Chains A and B, each alone.
Chain A
Amino acid sequence: MSLLLPQLKGIPAPRPSLRSKVYWEGCRQHRLLYQRCAECGYRGLSAFTVCAECHATSPVWDASAGRGSLYSWTVVWHPPNPSFRVPYAPAVVRLDEGVWMMSAVIGCEPDALHEGMRLAVEFHPASDEITLPYFAPAIEGQP
């Protein structure tokens, strides 16, 4: 048994930047926010000030329903530093709103990970200031 679990406080925590602080404040409130270009609807890989498609300068923040599918993953057994407990599964999740985001899958065994696996967001603290969004197997029928 090697259930994938969220990390504990003490890992190197993200330091929010000017353009990402809205995202991290959303996480603290257990709301998963993403940016969308108000003109053309483009979603980026990270917080942006200029749309990469139409170059409009008016992105807006939307709340995701927190559901998505597993796009890619790895299971780490030897971490970059000793503060991470293994195994853990960094993953790229494709949100149903069409956003690719970096996260990690928790709440299942590594062998259960598969392409297109349905996932739902869960929030866990990484430090006193930072809350990280993780994804766990979605339970059928639950919103």
Chain B
Amino acid sequence: MPTHPFRDVAIAGVHNTVQARQLPDHDSTSIALAGVLGALTDAGISPHEVDGIVGPDCAHIALELGLGPCTRRPSSLGIPTVLDAAALITTGQCDVVVIAAGGAGIHVDRSSTAPWTRPTNELVVGYGLFTAAEFALMARRHMLTYGTTPEQLAAVAATIRTNGHANPDAVYHDRGPFSPADILASRVIADPFHLLDCAMTSEGGCGIVLVAAKRAAEYETPVWILGGASDSFGPAYTVAPVWDFRPRPDSDPAGMVGARAARRAFAMAGLTPAQVDVAELYDPFSFEVIRQLEAFGFCPPGEGGPFVEDGNIAPGAQLPVTTDGGTMSFSHPGISAQQLQRVIRAALQIRGLCATNQVAGVEVALCSNGGAGALFCDVLLLGRERP
């Protein structure tokens, strides 16, 4: 049997800094630095041992922590940077790699939505497009095709926001619990999305430490990368988000972005969706969770709405989803921090360290980033057992 490509790398430490609506004493680099230090503390590793740094501010972090000479990968992606960081180790380029990101002091014009939700590309800017509207245009097609309902969307938002309500680390801790009726009673932002169907915005940072497998014995529960892959159809928020855009006639349309990535990730892991214990799905908008459940193979196309309405994604159910509250309730700091936070929560689920909504005996956790409205979607499978 061939050796698994990520057999020789493990996730040794993860950390979320304090997350809040605003962190007035921080900028994005300083909060990312706090994420690095926290993740290294969790891993019991000194900054002097780090020889690879990945993330949007990696060069500044290398300078500030005195990491030079080191490998750097400036990238604002989420899950793809985890796969790239792992490869830096498995290919012998680095021994200890830290991925870090943070957002603070970016959203200063409070009369407008956060800047990363307001694309300025020439084909969309004049029509008042923003991320909620882009994702709504994809959701509408699913509703027209399959009869998916606002109540089903609200079931997703209520579940995830109630997860955040229970989580003391969530920015919107103690704001609930929420029923689908609460979601539907909030004001409409971009039909079919109500305010509570949408991600919030916040500030915060985070970090992830990867080490060569020979150090894994130092850890009670090292977290292993079982599989991962990414799909993209083009630049986000630049052209019309068309569900049926299908540049390869023999492959999935843009509305199913992530399906190919999931198939490849499961193939790499030698697993099926039924073997996933918890899914830390990226939740920019409620509908996106329904779409991902279908694209990743947790239910057939068109059945995501009934799947969530039947309670299958709640804590204690068949497939608990986004157990910390996600971007709707835990945090959404912009840049890539909120994407890495799906990976961090999945790792904490495997280590059994979640203070709330810990799923018992997690062997396999799936996490995702992106979504159809952004024309990209990344999938990562983490596990308790070395591949």
Q: Which residues of A contact B127 (CB under 8 A)?
A: 88, 90, 102-104, 132
Q: Which residues of A contact B245 (CB under 8 A)?
A: 45, 100
How far is B233's CA from A45's CA once the two chains are assembled, in angstroms? 11
User: B238, A74: Cβ atoms under 8 Å?
Assistant: no
The interface bits of chain B over 186-206 (1 if a CB of A lies within 8 angstroms of the residue's CB, else 0) are 011111110100000000000
Q: Which residues of B contact A90 (CB under 8 A)?
A: 127-129, 133, 137, 190
Main secondary structure of the interface of A (DSSP, over half): loop
Name which residue of chain B comes closest to A12, CB basis.
Answer: B125
- Distance of B309 from chain A, by nearest CB (Å): 22
User: B140, A74: Cβ atoms under 8 Å?
Assistant: yes
User: A76, B123: Cβ atoms under 8 Å?
Assistant: no
List the one stretch of B93-101, B110-118, B340-348 in contact with chain A: B110-118
- Distance of B135 from chain A, by nearest CB (Å): 9
Q: How large is the interface on A (under 10, 10 to 19, 20 to 34, 35 or more residues)?
A: 35 or more
Q: Which residues of A contact B128 (CB under 8 A)?
A: 7, 11, 76, 79-80, 84, 88, 90, 104
The interface bits of chain A over 70-95 (1 if a CB of B lies within 8 angstroms of the residue's CB, else 0) are 01111111111110100010111000
B residues 92-148 near A (Cβ < 8 Å) are 111-113, 117-118, 120, 122-130, 132-133, 136-138, 140-141, 144
Q: Which residues of B contact A71 (CB under 8 A)?
A: 141, 242
How far is B247's CA from A100's CA once the two chains are assembled, in angstroms? 13
B282 interface contact, C-beta 8 A: no
A3 interface contact, C-beta 8 A: no
Q: Which residues of A contact B234 (CB under 8 A)?
A: 45
22 A-B contacts, Cβ less than 8 Å apart? A12-B120, A14-B122, A14-B123, A24-B122, A46-B123, A72-B242, A74-B133, A74-B140, A74-B190, A74-B191, A76-B128, A76-B189, A77-B189, A79-B128, A79-B130, A81-B112, A84-B128, A88-B127, A90-B128, A90-B129, A92-B137, A132-B126
A residues 96-143 near B (Cβ < 8 Å) are 100-104, 110, 115, 126, 130, 132
